[in-house]
Amino acid sequence: MSRLVLILGDQLSPEIAALKAADKASDVVVMAEVAGETDYVPHHPKKIALVLAAMRKFAEALRDDGWDVRYSQLDDTENSGSIVGELLRRAEETGASEVLATEPGEWRLIEALSAAPIPLRQLPDDRFLASHEMFETWAEGRKSLRMEYFYREMRRRTGYLMEGDDPAGGDWNYDKENRKPAPDEIDFGGPMQFTPDETVEEVLTLVEARFGENFGDLRPFAFATTRGQARRALAHFIKGALPKFGDYQDAMMTGERFLYHAVLSPYINIGLLDVREVCDAAQAAYEAGEAPLNAVEGFIRQIIGWREFVRGVYFLEGPEYPRQNKLNQQRKLPWFYWGGETKMACLAKTVEQTREEAYAHHIQRLMVTGNFALLAGVDPAVVHEWYLAVYADAYEWVEAPNTVGMSQFADGGLFASKPYVSSGAYIDRMSDYCAGCAYDVKTKVGEGACPFNLLYWHFLDRQRERLEGVARMGNMYRTWDRMDDDKRAQILREAEAFLERMSAGEVV
């Protein structure tokens, strides 16, 4: 009796667990483009196109390799619209009575598969280096979860950048060398671009017709959609950008959207690249003397550290995690997150880049859009939905902890030691955005004051009860308390007025 082998749109790895456990001679692979997945948030059209094009090409590669693949296209008349519906339809068609799946990266889908009226096994997704059990064991009994200690454990386990039992170079972490402000010039032209072939063009036409109203520009579309292309993009990054990756990791520059970032997360997250091959390539560059230790350590830390860590948190905390709101923030997401006008140059540029590229780098996500939403008191659930929709690399297992936990502090500091908030000074130091802004970053209050300067104190003041006791926040409260009463009252008044105008739909 044959079995069905489910491959989801972010499981496009030849070594995925369900395929490894299957029998090519008798089992049938099921892949399905379905409205249930294209519509659960208003995904950026580039993200939908990337997933569907890569799915179609992966299905072709499996067929070439001898698999029987039943592939449902989004516009097939028989398409039931959901993953479970398509499994049941294919079960009836083939007579299969059992499904082999690899655990999805989202509770929503895990629960749907668990409730499917057909015997279904969800195998652990061993593309990740840390299993759920390993993370649970590591987390057990710890008062707080700190990425740094998890990362050291992962370095020891994987052997990356280790000299015996010690970290290469003597230190575990070179983060302090990774915070240089924007340089005068960038000598890397950005990620490798790929011209759409016939399959990609077909998908682009479909996405244009069905998702043309979603936020985001579909064209030009230049993402890699096969494993071979993604590997070329990896090699291009290792040679052209990795050597300087560390130095300018936190910088932001108008006109230089990618700086020395990898822009590989869209490929890693759907399975076109394996984390081991990515880290191996980085370590090989270090060993060959082609990239310095601070760059390679910084890069490997993001992958075996942060990426594995946030996944551990997502699965440890359970399905309710994305709905946390420990700071009780309730405001609606301002319209300019969806492309409406704003006079704040940092936000306008980050959102514009997001619309055009379905990409913004970490500091833009954390310290511009994330920082503003937190300061302005936006409901973390809608912030979460926005991040899940607008980035090509967004899947709940990685997006939710980054947004709800790291960026919005909505879990009360499960793994972030304090909220990532800053006034305009940080953005001014790390970017060139302020130079072209209608507001003045140096003005703290009064005419032309940068809204981040006002909202920063407003946030601290209104969250005092919850945050004053948080380690490293005490200094901020002491500075606030030292200001004279009139100035504090003026800041709060102006911040309130700004928020009211913003929520009333005025261009701010």
Which of 128, 174, 387, 452 binds ligand SF4 (CB under 6 A)? It is 452
* Contact residues for 262 (Cβ-Cβ < 8 A; gap 6+): 191, 234, 237, 241, 242, 245, 299
- What is the rounded CA–CA span in Å between residue 67 and residue 65? 6
The number of C-alpha atoms within 13 Å of 291 and in the hemisphere containing its C-beta is 27
* Contact residues for 195 (Cβ-Cβ < 8 A; gap 6+): 222
Q: Which helix (H) or strand (E) holds 390?
A: helix 380-390
Binding mask 210-249 for ligand FAD (x = CB under 6 A): ----------------------------------------
Give whichever of 427 and 473 is closer to ligand SF4, judged by the CB atom: 427
- What is the rounded CA–CA span in Å between residue 180 and residue 295? 12
Give whichever of 3 and 349 is closer to ligand DLZ, judged by the CB atom: 3
User: Which partner, ligand DLZ, ligand SF4, ligand FAD, none, binds residue 452 by CB below 5 to 8 Å per kind?
Assistant: ligand SF4
User: In sequence order, what are the beta bridge partners of 122?
Assistant: 101
Binding mask 204-243 for ligand DLZ (x = CB under 6 A): ----------------------------------------
303 binds ligand FAD (CB under 6 A): yes
Give whichever of 400 and 421 is closer to ligand DLZ, judged by the CB atom: 400
Q: Which of the ranges 72-80, 252-260, 321-329, 338-346 carries the binding residues for ligand SF4, by CB under 6 A?
A: 338-346
- What is the rounded CA–CA span in Å between residue 266 and residue 142? 32
37 binds ligand DLZ (CB under 6 A): yes
Binding mask 91-120 for ligand DLZ (x = CB under 6 A): -------------xxx--x-----------
- What is the rounded CA–CA span in Å between residue 351 and residue 358? 10
User: Which partner, ligand DLZ, ligand SF4, ligand FAD, none, binds residue 364 by CB below 5 to 8 Å per kind?
Assistant: none
User: In sequence order, what are the beta bridge partners of 253?
Assistant: 256
* Least spacing, CB of residue 52 vs ligand DLZ, in Å: 6
Q: Which of the ranges 51-59, 319-327, 402-410, 428-436 carries the binding residues for ligand SF4, by CB under 6 A?
A: 428-436
Measured CA distances, 284 to 62, 90, 407, 481 (Å): 30, 44, 33, 52
- What is the rounded CA–CA span in Å between residue 377 and residue 330? 6
- What is the rounded CA–CA span in Å between residue 200 and residue 50? 8
Name the nearest CA neighbour of 370 among 322, 406, 424: 406
412-418-424 Cα angle (round to 5): 120
Q: Is the peptide bond before 220 cis (omega within 30 degrees of 0)?
A: yes
User: Which partner, ligand FAD, ligand DLZ, ligand SF4, none, binds residue 268 by CB below 5 to 8 Å per kind?
Assistant: ligand FAD
Which residues here bind ligand DLZ, judged by CB under 6 A? 8-10, 32-34, 37-38, 43, 48, 51, 104-106, 109, 395
Which residues here bind ligand FAD, judged by CB under 6 A? 261-265, 268-269, 299, 302-303, 306-307, 310, 361-362, 365-366, 370, 387, 391, 393-394, 398-399, 402-403, 406-407
